[in-house]
Structure 1
Amino acid sequence: MEPIYVLSDAEREQLAAVLHSVGKSPYEDYEDFSRAVGDVVARGEVPAFFADVCARIRDDRRSGAGDAHVLRNCPLDEEIPELDLDDPVADKHAKKKTFVGEAFLELFAQLVETPLLSYATRFNGDFFTDVVAINRYSGMQTGFSDSELVYHNDRTAHPVRADFISLLGMRCPDGDFVYTGFVDGRDLLAHLSEEDQLQLREAQFITPFDVFSRDNNEDLTVSEVHPILENHHSFRYLDTCTTAAPGAPESAKDALLALKNAMVRADKTRHRIRTGDLFTFANQDGLHSRDKMEINDPARARRRWLLKTYAFRDAAAAEQHADRWLDGVRGRVGD
């Protein structure tokens, strides 16, 4: 996938200098950190080129022109620590002393007007999480493993799900080729009959919680009965895991098979995230995957690190879940 904008080195350094000035830790007090980034915006310190590209992405999303975008040569911290993959969260908190990547993602979220979301039982409730290969999940179907991932949307089983995901390449080895796939929900609809769409809109499907969620909250087993298709083209689906609920009619199972066929036939986008790339895409209005196309050094590939945020579509979408905020922190929900 081609970037919609490639920052020049001078632009990257200009934006990095602005982000360095934030001077707050998102892991100590996210709300204080978010306000500090907002102050940068209020003081008019955001370079015009970045404000313009964020406005373009915001407009593309609202008009339906596009739900997946790439920026290249984005600012990163000068020092990117190697993380201990036995406990990367604790190790990041101990080693990472600057927060340029986090400030960049927060600034992007504020400029495209998509408030961030976090889960209290994941990564200590942090709003900036890490897509890394945690050792104990090796080979498992979770984003925190070294495995490929089937087409899905994040937190499929959870009642509160992000509208958008942003991934910032902190360390992406050049010699290994890992791609993030994306299929737009509208392209899936084009391969589904009206009857299949009607069946997929009925609450007659279930999705088990992933192993990472279950390890963080033993009460989580399987979702409530839910539809797969919502809104116009939002899909709540985890391939190979979402199934028809017990007692669902044969028509529900037929529709599920039709969706699987549609996923094969639909047009797809794939992007190889490089160090310094921002890949941002719809989580519900599409499905995404991880494809290991060519791994030349498995040990090196396991050091891949993406900094990740979840976001609501807009302030109104966030406020629909205001009764779930924990400890008064806007955007932080429980499981």
Structure 2
Amino acid sequence: MTIPLCELTIGYEFSDAGRDAFAAALAGVILSPYKFYEPFRRQASAVVDTGGVPEDFLAFCRALRDRDRAQEPVVLVRNAPIDRDVPPFDPDDPVRSKYRLKTTFVAEAFLEVFAALTGVTAIGNIDIAYGDVYNDIYPKRSAWHTHSSKGLLSQPFHKDLGSQPIVPDHIHMLSMRCAPENDVCTSFVRSVDMLRELREDELDLVREPVFFTPADPATSYDTGGVYPSHPILTGTARMRFTQGRTRGRTPEAEAVARRLDEQPGRFRKRVQLMPGDLAAVSNHLSLHAREVHEVRDEEALRTRWIIKSANLDDTGPYRRHLVAGTDYLMSDEVA
């Protein structure tokens, strides 16, 4: 029997009985978040209001609000309620296939409840996956050969949507399907560890807007090679950096960027996210990656599936991006 790798501390683990009772309550959320997000959200809130959430999980979620996020930017929950026995999606169009094949919404309701209990707000982006709040890390045939979220190859350490106008504060990733015999990990490194060994002059330099990050050509529009300058570090630990892609505009900046490339391999924590594992990630205070080391079952890798949501601490600063008539759907264009 293959034992899944886990180098993260487990923050909370559901008992089988607690998971099943919670799943039964969440199964009452019958409206699709992909068609009727706002009524879906109200149904999920009702699960909390009617006592459907285990008391100790309520306490755990509320305690997370007060943790030191820089020191604990990744929280792992195990054995969470999810939808079981969902068939594989069409690899040529997995998103539209999901709309047809996924007819229960336990996982999405769990993510909605978790966001609410931890004091963050799930958002959608009208320019990403049809505006869905819940998106899939799921291989797509046309992207199998890429390092993107829809590829089968390793993905470098990065923060999600770091170059976009709306950068999520938190990424929640809930594993739905993963084969433990494949050595494929989701890996994390804290920003404080990335910065730990920089000299004072290097710390000063990474706060300067003398870096740029070319977009992933597999997932982004061609910009004609024009990329805005940005700092790597703001505040004490908020980073914008993509391993192997962020570059310096001066020799000194380039040298620091290449030094930072080496840090994830030294300080990373790896986990094989098994079905029901939730990784809640502080997006500004850590970087994450997909590491594909050994594949023993290619077909299982092609159906590996994680549901992901983007979340904000406060939607107020992004109010001008809200699509008219909604309080969650964003656009990169200012309204």
Q: State the 4+ residue runs in structure 1 displaced beyond 4 angstroms.
A: 217-223
Match of 2:329 among 316, 329, 332: 332
Aligned twin of 2:268:
268
Q: Say whether residues 1:234 and 2:238 are aligned partners.
A: yes
The Cα offsets for residues 247-271 of structure 1, whole Å up to 9 and x where unpaired, read as x333322322332244444x22111
Aligned twin of 1:67:
73
User: Could you tell me how far apart the structure 1 residues matched to 2:218 and 2:62 are?
Assistant: 35
- 3-state SS of 2:270 partner: strand
Change (3 A) 1:15 1:223: farther
Q: Please give the root-mean-square deviation of Cα atoms over the aligned residues, in Å.
A: 2.0
User: Could you tell me how far apart the structure 2 residues matched to 1:141 and 1:184 are?
Assistant: 21
Aligned twin of 1:205:
211
Aligned twin of 1:22:
29
Aligned twin of 2:60:
53
| 1:116-135 paired onto structure 2 within 5 Å | 116-135=122-141
- One-letter amino acid matched to 1:19: L
Deviation, structure 1 residue 78: 3.5
- One-letter amino acid matched to 1:8: S
Is 1:158–1:223's contact at 8 Å kept on the other side of the alignment?
A: no
Is 2:32–2:40's contact at 8 Å kept on the other side of the alignment?
A: yes
User: Could you tell me how far apart the structure 1 residues matched to 2:193 and 2:71 are?
Assistant: 13
- One-letter amino acid matched to 2:259: A
Q: 233-242 vs 31-40, which deviates more?
A: 31-40
Q: 322-331 vs 132-141, which deviates more?
A: 322-331
| 1:1-335 paired onto structure 2 within 5 Å | 1-61=8-68, 64-214=70-220, 223-244=227-248, 248-265=249-266, 267-312=267-312, 314-315=313-314, 318-335=315-332
Deviation, structure 1 residue 222: 5.4
Deviation, structure 1 residue 221: 6.8
Is 2:122–2:328's contact at 8 Å kept on the other side of the alignment?
A: yes
- One-letter amino acid matched to 1:271: V
User: Could you tell me how far apart the structure 1 residues matched to 2:137 and 2:175 are?
Assistant: 10
Is 1:207–1:222's contact at 8 Å kept on the other side of the alignment?
A: no
Q: Give the helix-richer structure, 1 or 2.
A: 1
Deviation, structure 1 residue 218: 6.3
The Cα offsets for residues 166-214 of structure 1, whole Å up to 9 and x where unpaired, read as 1111111132121111110111121111211211111222222323542
The gaps in structure 2 that reach 5 residues or longer are 1-7
Change (3 A) 1:118 1:223: farther
The gaps in structure 1 that reach 5 residues or longer are none
- One-letter amino acid matched to 1:141: H
- 3-state SS of 1:320 partner: helix
Is 1:206–1:222's contact at 8 Å kept on the other side of the alignment?
A: no
- 3-state SS of 2:281 partner: strand
Change (3 A) 1:112 1:136: same
User: Could you tell me how far apart the structure 2 residues matched to 1:219 and 1:254 are?
Assistant: 25
- 3-state SS of 2:25 partner: helix
User: Could you tell me how far apart the structure 1 residues matched to 2:142 and 2:298 are?
Assistant: 16
Change (3 A) 1:83 1:222: farther
Deviation, structure 1 residue 272: 0.9
Deviation, structure 1 residue 93: 0.4
Change (3 A) 1:295 1:2: farther
- 3-state SS of 2:287 partner: strand
User: In percent, how many aligned pairs have the same letter?
Assistant: 31
Deviation, structure 1 residue 127: 0.6
- 3-state SS of 1:4 partner: strand
